[in-house]
Amino acid sequence: GLVVGGRLGYVLFYNLDYYLQRPWEIVALWKGGLSFHGGFVGVILTGIWFSRRRGIPFYEMADTAIIPLPIGLGLGRIGNFINGELFGRPTQVPWCMVFPNGGPQCRHPSQLYEALLEGLVLFLVMWTVGKRSKQPGVPFWTFVALYGVARFLVEFTREPDPQLGLILGPFSMGQVLSMPMIFLGAAMLWTLKRKVAVPRP
């Protein structure tokens, strides 16, 4: 689910014209090109299928699996930093860096911003929510909403994909794809809260 969803998400949202002309390269995973948003949807769909097949409540499985996920995200962003990929926009902040593939400009180390927000900060929040919340679904939808917020904010410092640029005013594709996560996560948390607040007749 992760790989298939991630690849399809990248093809559909980030480079559709290219792959329409070269459909055989859709399976060329060794050339790179995965989308977190697509991969996350793929994992959710696979999780729903698996939970139904095994008779396990989806939230019971998802709430447990989602808590350590930020650790993997943070390590992945550190890997991006080491590889000098997915770097930030040009800037003059004192901690800016020159990346081998980013030209001579000094840039935001946006990979480290993401490692901090999507990794460390989000893990601490998820660990706390997982400890305190007893309602199924709250950890899962908390992650959905807060990842969307973290990604949306960091994208302001991250270099947009060169084949797309900014696609909706000042917003990148990553931000556009994060907006539904924010709204859906917040709406579901509000719905779950109402279910607790309204007593059963």
pLDDT of residue 198: 53
At residue 34, the pLDDT reads: 78
Residue 187 to residue 197: CA distance in whole angstroms: 15
Domain boundaries, given as residue ranges, for the chain: 1-56, 57-197
Distance CA 189, CA 16 (A): 33
| Residue type present at position 168 | L
pLDDT of residue 197: 58
pLDDT at residue 193 in the model = 85
Per-residue pLDDT of the chain (201 residues; tens, 9 = 90+): 677 787 877 777 777 777 788 787 777 776 767 788 888 888 899 889 988 888 889 999 999 999 999 999 999 999 999 999 899 999 999 999 999 988 999 999 999 999 999 999 999 999 999 999 889 999 999 999 999 999 999 999 999 988 888 988 899 999 999 999 999 999 999 999 887 655 554
3-state secondary structure of 184: helix
pTM: 0.87
Task: Kindly report each contact of residues 104-108 with a partner whose C-beta sits within 8 Å and lies 24 or more positions away, as own/partner.
Answer: 107/159, 108/157, 108/158
Q: What is the pLDDT of residue 39?
A: 86
DSSP-assigned states of every residue in 67-108: SSHHHHHHHHHHHHHHHT-S-B-B---TT-B--TTS-SS-B-
Q: Please give the pLDDT value at position 16.
A: 77
- pLDDT of 1: 67
